[in-house]
Amino acid sequence: MDYMMVDVIPVSDPNSSTMAQRVVQYQAVLQMAQQAPQIYDLPQLHRQMIEVLGIKNADKLVPTKDDAKPTDPVSENMDALIGKPIKAFIYQDHDAHIATHMAFMQDPMIAQTIGQNPQAQQIMMSLQAHIAEHLGFSYRKQLEEKLGAPLPPPGEELPEEIEVQLSRLVADAGKQLTQAHQQQAAQQAAQQQAQDPMFQLQQQELQVKAQEVQRKAQKDAMDAQYKQADMQLKAQKTAVDAALEAERLKLDQTELAVESQKDGIKLKQARQQADKEFDLKMMQALQQPKGGQNRE
C-alpha cells in the first residue's frame, strides 16, 4: 500500500543481455556461418545484427526475401541482376515465370554480360533458386488439379489424421502426375528427334531398307507365283501329252484293226479270185474235145 501512488521502474533485468553482449553473440554466430554459409540465412543474420546495433532502416540496408513484393518476371530478372531478393507467390502464373527466367538465363547476350560480373555466381544461384520456388508452386498446382481440390496453405499445421490421409492422397496423385510427365517427356523427346537432321537421315535410311525388304518380299512372292504357275502349266502339259499319247495309241490300234480288216478282205477276195480262176480252168478243161487229147 505504501507504493501504490509511486511508479517504480526497474533499471536493469538480470535475464536481459546488454547491447555489447548481443553484439558478441551475433559475431559468434557470424563466425559459425562462415564455416557453413549454405545452412544460414545470411541476409537475415546481418539484418538482425544491424538492428541490434540500433541502426535505423535495416530493411533498406539489407533487404530479405520477406520484403519482396509480387512483380512480373521481367522485373524479377532485373532485380536478380542487381542483387535484390526475389520471391515467388503462390497465386502467380508459375509456368510463365519459369519460361521467362529460363529464356533470360539462356540468352547469350545476357549470359556474356553476367559472366563479366564478379557476382555472376550469386546472380545465377539466385535465379535458379527462384525458378525452383516457382517449380514447387507449379507442382503443387498440378497436384491440386489431379486431386480436384485445393491443398492446405503452405506451413499450416494439420491434425495428425488429416495429414496422414492427405499424404496418401497426394502420393497417388504424385504417381499419376509423374506418369503424365514421363509421357510428355517421351513425346517431346520424339519431337526433338524428329527435328534432328541425323535422326531424319536415319529414318530415311530405315525407310529405304524397309522399302527394299518390302520390294524383295514382293519379288519373292511374284517369283513363287510364277514358279507355281509354271509348275501348273507343266502339269497341265504333261496331262495333255498323256491324253494325246493315249489317243494316238488308240488311233494306232484302230488303224491296225482297220488294216487287219483290209488284209482279211483282200485275202478273202484273193481266195475267191483264185477259186474262180480254178473253177474256170476246170470248166475249160472239161469242155475240150475227147478224141485228140488225153483227158487226164
Instruction: Return the closest-CA partner of residue 86 out of 102, 100, 66, 105.
Output: 66
DSSP secondary structure string for all residues of 150-176: PPPPTT----HHHHHHHHHHHHHHHHH
pLDDT score of 3: 66
Q: What is the Cβ-side half-sphere exposure of residue 126, based on CA atoms within 13 angstroms? A: 21
How far is residue 234 CA from its own chain's centroid?
53
Instruction: Return the closest-CA partner of residue 84 out of 98, 103, 71.
Output: 71
pLDDT score of 16: 57
Q: Which residues of the chain have pLDDT under 50?
A: 295-296
pLDDT score of 23: 82
pLDDT score of 17: 63
- Give pLDDT tens digits for 130-156: 999 999 999 999 999 988 889 998 888
The cell numbers describing 103, all together, are 529464356
pLDDT score of 90: 92
Rounded CA separation 237/241 (Å): 6
pLDDT score of 289: 66
| pTM strictly above 0.85 | no
pLDDT score of 102: 94
Rounded CA separation 177/146 (Å): 7
DSSP secondary structure string for all residues of 63-128: --GGG-----HHHHHHHHHTT------TTS-HHHHHHHHHHHHH-HHHHHHHHTSTTHHHHHHHHH
Instruction: Return the closest-CA partner of residue 153 out of 142, 144, 165.
Output: 144
pLDDT score of 15: 54
pLDDT score of 107: 92
pLDDT score of 9: 64
- Give pLDDT tens digits for 172-181: 988 988 998 8
pLDDT score of 274: 82
The cell numbers describing 290, all together, are 475227147
Q: For 134-145, give one letter per residue: b (16+ CB within 10 A) or e.
A: beebbebbbbee
Rounded CA separation 106/112 (Å): 10
